């Protein structure tokens, strides 16, 4: 299984993913620059990503807690999600996501 992750410079990376892992863990463990300061507790929004619109309908909708955290994130779009709240499933093989910009 793989995720296709576009970094902040526009380069796409094909990352091997393991079922049951959080998308945030896959991105972080492959050494890509995602902060994930809370470690997946849905309390910081530093794992903000954009999910390719073609993949949004196949994901569980965001919880109210995730929506509250996204309200604190920078450059939120209609396809914004927190990577810590998306568990990898076989149906996500090939899913495309992009790292959201961060304030420097």
CA nearest to 27, candidates 10, 43, 48? 48
6-36 pLDDT per residue, tens:
999 999 999 999 999 999 999 999 999 999 8
- pLDDT value of position 104: 66
- pLDDT value of position 39: 87
| Mean pLDDT score, 2-6 | 98
CATH of 2-99, one of 3.10.20.30, 2.60.20.30, 3.30.1360.20, 3.50.50.60: 3.10.20.30
Please give the model's pTM, rounded to 2 decimal places. Answer: 0.95
- pLDDT value of position 73: 94
Residue 100 in this model has a pLDDT that exceeds 90: yes
52-73 pLDDT per residue, tens:
999 999 999 999 999 999 999 9
Residues 66 and 69: their CA atoms lie apart, in Å, by 5
Q: What are phi and psi of 48, to 5 degrees?
A: -60, 125
């Amino acid at each position: 299984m793989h995720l296709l992750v576009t970094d902040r410079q526009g380069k796409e990376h094909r990352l091997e993913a393991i079922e049951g892992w959080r998308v945030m863990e896959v991105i972080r463990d492959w050494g890509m620059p995602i902060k994930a300061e809370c470690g997946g507790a849905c309390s910081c929004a530093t794992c903000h990503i954009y999910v390719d619109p073609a993949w949004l309908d196949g994901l569980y909708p965001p919880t109210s807690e995730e929506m509250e955290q996204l309200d604190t994130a920078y450059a939120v779009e209609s396809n914004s999600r927190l990577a810590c709240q998306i568990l990898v499933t076989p149906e996500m093989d090939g899913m495309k996501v992009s790292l959201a910009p961060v304030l420097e």
